Amino acid sequence: MSVLTSPRGKVEVVHCRRTESQDIYCIKNLIRKFTQKLFGSLNIIYLLEKANLAITLHNDHEEIMAQATFLDYPNWNVTKQDDWVSVFQELDSEIPCTPLNTLFMHLFVAVDEYSVGCCKEIIRTVFKAVPDLHFIFLIVPSYMSLGSTLITVFNQVGNIPSLVYDEDFTVHVCHRHSHYPQLYIRKARVEDHDDLMPIFLHHDTILKETYGEYFLAELIEAQDEENHAVVCEVEGVAVGFMSLCSRVNLQLLHECFDLGPFHGLCTPHPSDVLEPSPELSAQGIPDTELRSSSQDSQKIVKELRETASMEAKESTQGKVTEEAPKEDALAPVQSESSSEAEDTEQLSQDYSTDSRYSVSNTSSASISLPKETSSFRPIYRGASAAFCIQLFCIDEKYEARSLDFMNFVFSLFPDKDFCIISLPHLTPEFVLVQNFVKIVPFNNCTLDQDLYVFHRAGLLKTINIRLATVSDSPGVENLISTLMLNRSILEDLKKYNEARRDPDGTPLQAFVAEVAGQVVGIAVIRNEMDIEYIRSHYNIEDFIYFSHHQREEHGHLYHFALNPIFRHYTKFFLKEILRLGFKSCLYYPVYPQSTEGKVQSPSAHSLTSALHFLVPVRPRRQIVYPLEKLGINAPSKEVSKDPLGYALNHTNRKLTLEPKITVNAKIVVVGASTVGISFLETLVFCSHLKFSNLTLISTHGLPGKKLLGTEQRKFLASDHCFNDKDHALMSLCSWVNVVVGKMTAIDRAAKQVIVSREDIVLYDHLILCTGQQYQVPCPTGADISQHPTNREVAHSGLRRYTGPVPCNHFTLNNEEDCLKALTWIRNNSITAEGNVIVYGNTIDTYTTVETLLNLGVRGSYIHLVQHPPTSIITCINNYTVEGALEDALRAAGVTVYHDALLAQWNDGLDPNPIRSASFTTPTKPFKLPCSVFFSFCEKNVDYETFKAFNDACLVYDGRLVIDSNFHTNDIAIRAAGPLTKFSNRYYCNEWTHSSFNSKEIGFQLAAAMLNLFDPTLEPATEPPADLDRLIPMYKGAKIKGGILPGSYHYLHVAKPAIPTPLEVQMAQPDFGSEIVTGNARHGTYFRIHINKYKMVETITCFSRAPFPASNYIRLFGQHEQVLNNLCARYEDGLVPDLYR
């Protein structure tokens, strides 16, 4: 926010933001004839599409005051976009412009009255938003003057000719130091205390309360060879402070963090153990460390130390630093030297309350870590090569220049190559640490700190991105020698050097990143040949205006590798790929893990380290077309083809300078249910946020492994929320850490989840989405020889089976359970002989019976035993469909028993394996021989899950109790889905999350959580007290479907409602009308219920022929007029068959 004053004394408060498409109309209105002469006749939409940075200035009334657009190449076609550097360096050798530090202004418009103030404000904002930027060039026709506004910030440099126009153009430059200068860094003095204390106290008073009023002066006075204090100064006033210490507890860091790529923050030593012994290798323990970065950086360091200055220099204001004082290595690390441990007793533990304020307490308390069954860890015996930042604070006005400290602080430690800082993980990533590399913790790490590392070489600004040459091959090979797909990268590089294209003619480009003559990065792209498919199958137009990008401007990123010490240049590398490759968009697919042969394929994509700098693109819902019926009217093959599904990631020119907000909060989701997956999907596809600590705890990991194949009939019914292809299109494994195991306890005080009774997962926010599962039924124990009836049997649905589960008993809750059952059936020849008992009265019993019939089990060997219903409402709730099902079961020879209670297995003897099962009924009991037993009794919360809730003192009343905002009685624990019920204070026990669409529940849960993390959202306001007594109502359809006996394809779509018999619903005066075509027994039944508002409220399909279920689901909630006046045409007899 800034205040502008016009020459007439009028005052406007203005705010800067990124330009949005809705600004285009106002921008056009600000264009004058002078503007067109200065910048040319421009297509504003096209310009914004290709801009690297576009800034809009608006007032408090959201009126556009000014706008400026910047690109990374000159306008007026004075040079080609990939070849401007040499031209401008020849123009003025004293201006060291490079692609890293230069942008070009392609447009500036402003309200005339405030134009000067607006121009200066935008320029200052640009330099603040892009810290590496030093020069902004403006190119105008030589006969044009800049006018009274732009001349206040730009100075003339010289003239250059145009490649297109027959005239010269004048080049003007704006220097950073005139608007947002580099900070002057020096050693701290006691006199700085009075300048710095207001900055500290503005954010927090903890240090003052803990260490006294003069803690800062005492810290400055205590400087010695190991401890230094540094300040940044503006006009003689200290505006920032950094405290440094050379003592680092490397032993603890090695136990907690994977420091392999940085050689354990140690100097190389002949006694280092970098690889596992032959004995360990023979046992198959992999060495997963990437040693290439260590080896490469050591070579870079050797080169750079010959040229870099080793003297301690204080940075000077306004001077552009082009080289770091020193550069050094990257490599795998672990120190076990006792002398080293004595010298490094303390770990820097930074405390921060603000993005500009961090504090470190150097404590040497021992920390007990759980044991980890991990792979080999290297051992490093060299001396420490790191120092730590203990305390850091800077005035928010100068925060963007935080990196100016680093040149000076490295000069204070000439023998150290790494600077580290540890922060509480809930601390927002401020500007300084955004240039650091966040270290991955080991899975046994219980520290509540995140560790960040910065290498001395990262200060170098001489990184050069260029097209690869043949001479780069050895350097690239050395860089990627330990990568999994290094051969594929080298083969693509060879193709580029030999022919610049693939054998099929697809253009190919390879780029290298070079520092001090050493290759530190490699990227390979091809032209995107499937752009029509991408446009039709992914929401790419959420990010670009597709029509403003030519076909050849879409690139496909195949490989990307960059030395970790230069990771903060990843976006610059991507930006240069777009500029040098004449591309405007890049796409990177992630194929599902279960895909066989993809990794081995020579054309496979290597895992890109740039993934987190790209944005995931949501897949588009696809219409299922009847291609044979449409004939020549069908969509093109490029659109309608069905290749292997993949998750798409994307970047474009507009995103190259767009920062992501990193959320380091540990969000742990328990249960890979539909609710949990929908929750994670919503967070992952927030393109402007990066959740770095998403964890899923699930018994079988992420779903979507295609264990049963696409042709195999499914044992379980579907809710049509997610299928295997949906999981492939999301690729949650790219963004979510998966812990395979079962939650057995919750430690609320320590914020820990205990998994499988031994492993610990830390959380800040715990999301419980375990759902309900089919449980092993508990036999009543009735002796059928006494001929009891159900009424005479003491039966309670609350009894839990506690004995060993028989080997031939199956409760199917997920695809893994189904695969296990299928394997057991095939291995034990059940399809040829043996009785199968299916026990339950849910829709899953019908789908399981149909699957068994499809597997070849004879119908006479299948016994469908339905236990007494808990409600008069059946799982189908449609007598017409139920009648057809009964006929199909009868025709298949399946025996159906009604109202039967399980009495005993094996007449009360050892139930493993089950050879017979006894049941009681309202009349007489019966006994069946049994080879395999499927149980689909009423779902309930798993006992171990319940015990974890109960032991953690979470309120449980049949289900986990939540409020209307998903909170349990612990503010850090939320829950959703069938696992939960609303608190009794809402007086709505009939309504639970089971009544609603689980995918919508997950989305709403994520929306509630995003208010905590997304600064772009309006702050959530507390609802009035009386409104909190109402539960939220969701509108998404409840869906169920599957293949039922008789090979009937079934789909039922209905609005959320308290279950009511269909006949009762139809008897209501406001029921509306229904449209029914076909016959259930003939397999042509289609029913649509239209409510009194003429909206589609229920859809029921029951057909022997497969139908496009996803198309029919979209009919829900549509007005009948949208469906071509369906009601009127049905009444006129014009709709004999809804399927046609």
pLDDT reading at 358 higher than 80: no
Beta bridge partners of 16: 57
pLDDT at 276 over 80: no
CA distance 830 to 855: 10
Residue at 47 is within a domain: yes
Same domain, 274 and 418: yes
How far apart CA 288 and CA 479 sit, in angstroms, is 16
Range of the domain at 388: 221-458
In a domain, 338, yes or no: yes
Please check whether residues 783 and 766 belong to one and the same domain.
Answer: no
911 with 1006, same domain: the answer is: no
> Does residue 427 form part of some domain?
yes
Q: How many domains does the chain have?
A: 5
Query: Residue 192 pLDDT > 80, yes or no?
Result: yes
User: Which residue shows structure tokens 């006996």?
Assistant: 1045
Q: Return d(Cα 159, Cα 266) in angstroms, integer.
A: 52
The pLDDT tens digits for 195-223 are 988 888 877 767 777 766 778 888 888 88
In a domain, 391, yes or no: yes
Task: With cut-offs at 50, 70 and 90, classify the pLDDT of residue 336.
Answer: very low
Amino acid at 618: R
Question: Looking at the domain assignment, is residue 500 inside a domain?
Answer: no
H or E element, residue 770: none
697 found inside a domain: yes
Query: What type of residue sits at position 304?
Result: L
The pLDDT value recorded for residue 797 is: 64
- Answer whether residue 369 shows pLDDT above 50: no
Task: Answer yes or no: do 736 and 851 share one domain.
Answer: no
Instruction: Name residue, tokens 């418009």.
Output: 109
For residue 594, the model assigns a pLDDT of 52
CB-side neighbour CA atoms (13 Å) of 84: 29
At residue 323, the pLDDT reads 32
Mean per-residue pLDDT, 528-546: 94
> Is residue 473, in this structure, part of any structural domain at all?
no
Q: Are residues 260 and 395 in the same domain?
A: yes
Contacts of 313 (CB under 8 A, 6+ apart): 325, 407, 408, 411
**DSSP state letters, 804-837:** PPPTTEE---SHHHHHHHHHHHHHTTTTTS--EE
867 & 883 share domain: yes
Q: Are residues 35 and 164 in the same domain?
A: yes
Q: Are residues 950 and 909 in the same domain?
A: no
- Among residues 877, 862, 848, which one has the least CA distance to residue 774? 848
**Statement to judge: residues 933 and 955 lie in one domain:** no
CATH number assigned to the domain comprising residue 684? 3.50.50.60
Residues facing residue 562 across a β-bridge: 521
Q: So what's the pLDDT on residue 485?
A: 82
Partners of 1090 in the beta sheet?
Answer: 1073, 1096
**pLDDT confidence band for 861 (50 / 70 / 90):** very high
Kindly report the CATH number assigned to the domain that includes residue 1079.
3.30.390
Q: Could you report the per-residue pLDDT of 998-1025, keeping only the tens digit for each?
A: 999 999 999 999 999 988 887 766 666 6
State residue 636's pLDDT score: 84
> How many Å apart are CA 725 and CA 479, to the nearest integer?
35
**Which residues are paired to 896 by β-bridges?**
864
Q: Which of 1005, 1036, 1067 is the last residue of a domain?
A: 1036
Q: Select from 397, 425, 458 the last residue of a domain.
A: 458
* Bridge partner list, 765: 667
Tokens of 221: 């006075």
Together in a domain, 320 and 414: yes
> Of the candidates 1036, 1057, 1074, which is a domain's last residue?
1036
Q: What is the CATH number of the domain that holds 144?
A: 3.40.630.30
Residues 947 and 891 in one domain: no
- Sequence-distant (6+) residues with CB within 8 A of 361 are 349, 351
| Residue 418 and residue 284 in one domain | yes
More confident residue, 314 or 147: 147
Q: What is the pLDDT of residue 796?
A: 64
CB within 8 Å of 940: residues ≥ 6 apart: 772, 773, 775
* 568 is a domain residue: no
Residue type (1 letter), 105: M
Contact predicate 168/159, CB 8 Å: yes
- Average pLDDT on 1081-1098 reads 94
Rounded-to-integer distance, Cα 125 and Cα 55, Å: 8
Average pLDDT, the chain: 86
